[in-house]
Amino acid sequence: MKIQNLLLLCVEQHASDLILTANTPPIIRKDGEVIRTDFPPLTPEKVQELVKSLLTPEQIKEFAQKKDLDLSIEIKGVSRFRINVYYQKGTMAAALRIIPLEVPTIEGLNLPPILKKLALTPRGLILVTGPAGSGKSSTIAAMLRYINANKRCHIITIEDPIEYMHESELSIVEQRELSVDTDSFADALKHVVRQSPDVILVGEMRDLETISTAITAAETGHLVLATLHTIDAPQTVHRIIDVFPGDQQEQIRTQFAGSLAGIISQQLLPSADGKGRVPAVEILINTPGIRAQIMHNDIQQIPLHIQTGKEYGMISMNQTLKRLVQDGKVKLEVAASRTSSPAEFTEMLIRKVKPRVRSCFSALFVLLRIRSKGRYQLYRTLKRSIKAHKKELIRIRKNR
């Protein structure tokens, strides 16, 4: 068994990931599901052999010191792969993400056309958020491809590691990789403004220094694109502000409100036909109303502005989920399990309008109406979603 054969199998099976760990057969992830291959279980020695065949001598030394390593490789004519090497139970393991050689397009990813307009924004901060594996990197890559093809500018990316390879078209694209071209996101951002960029991509905003420098870069006339592990626009705003000490939050709130261009929150759902996954996207555009709410810390009103901001290109996650169900792209039970506001989503479907559920009584009434219609599976799904959402709110409040 060779690592190249396993990677080729992943590409042929249209899998998104390959996981190598001791005492288990090689595992692939396809359409979000983990699937064991038919190969025999890997011994710790075999995992080490497979993983080390991907590493240079320098990378082997670095891994021995740090116990974790990020890198990317390319099999010519096949695909690129983002790799994380780590230890578990004292043995080597690895997770490999398949990255197509061709940079995706906004249309090819079935993303809303408003992303094209956002991509050509002259300045400001655009955040692409969502859980791990929700397609954030692909969305940002598609937006960069659109900028590259339609605008004459200088694009600099800071990535860990470099994923999609962009060839310069109308724009000039330079890609920097952590540990190879720079020591950290924060260090790279400190110096990037002296490199005459128009567009800056930050692979991930991980810490206070990186977030602060990215906001400053957006304030000083650059378009900054970055990713964040948050589930929706309000949580994204809270995360950005809360990372700063209390005595700085008022100032950062003002800076962030002034520099933000938009927030794209997304997740991937299994398609109704069982062939692949479908993106569900929430989009916030920083209108004067949104800006005022951020500045005055009135974050709880943001969802209402998103729901009513269609003229600006905004759409809420529930509105997207409803449309996907009505278009037959996603099953109702799947959509209901992915909403963070299940009662509101249910009322949208029942009444075929977009009102807000204003009390626990109205939410209960909606659930009773569903149950009376015999839709027991959906009823149970929504009930579980409401309970899970309440627990998540309690957890977030405690963390704050």
| Spatial separation of the C-alpha atoms in residues 71 and 63, rounded to whole Å | 11
Q: Is residue 215 part of a domain?
A: yes
Q: What pLDDT does 383 receive?
A: 62
One domain, residues 230 and 123 = yes
One domain, residues 173 and 303 = yes
State the total domains in the chain. 3
Q: Is residue 332 part of a domain?
A: no
Q: For residue 295, which of 261, 250, 263, 262 has the smallest C-alpha distance?
A: 250
One domain, residues 34 and 131 = no
Q: What pLDDT does 186 receive?
A: 87
Which residues form the domain of 148? 114-324
Residues of the chain with pLDDT under 70: 351-400
| Spatial separation of the C-alpha atoms in residues 60 and 1, rounded to whole Å | 21
One domain, residues 39 and 69 = yes
The helix (run of H) or strand (run of E) holding residue 226 is strand 223-228
Domain boundary among 99, 128, 154: 99
| Spatial separation of the C-alpha atoms in residues 199 and 191, rounded to whole Å | 14
One domain, residues 151 and 55 = no
One domain, residues 318 and 369 = no
Q: Is residue 218 part of a domain?
A: yes
One domain, residues 87 and 212 = no
Rg over CA atoms, the chain = 22
Task: Give the angle subtended at the CA of 176 by the CAs of 175 and 181, to the nearest 5°.
Answer: 145
One domain, residues 346 and 209 = no
Q: Is residue 335 part of a domain?
A: no
Peptide bond into 113 cis (omega under 30): no
Q: What pLDDT does 382 receive?
A: 60
Q: Is residue 235 part of a domain?
A: yes
One domain, residues 171 and 269 = yes
Give one word for 391, left, alpha or beta, with left for phi > 0 and alpha for psi -120 to 50: alpha
Q: What pLDDT does 347 receive?
A: 80
Domain boundary among 45, 64, 99: 99
One domain, residues 191 and 144 = yes
Q: What pLDDT does 8 receive?
A: 92
What are 281's strand-pairing partners?
A: 266
CATH number, domain of 225, equals 3.40.50.300
One domain, residues 59 and 139 = no
Q: Is residue 334 part of a domain?
A: no
| E strand spans, the chain | 17-20, 27-30, 33-36, 68-75, 79-88, 91-99, 124-129, 154-159, 172-177, 199-202, 223-228, 260-270, 277-285
pTM here is: 0.83
One domain, residues 94 and 199 = no
CB atoms within 10 A of CB 327: 10
Domain boundary among 294, 324, 354: 324
Q: What pLDDT does 193 receive?
A: 87
CATH number, domain of 31, equals 3.30.450.90
Angle between helix axes 233-242 and 249-259 (nearest 10 degrees) is: 140
Q: What pLDDT does 1 receive?
A: 80
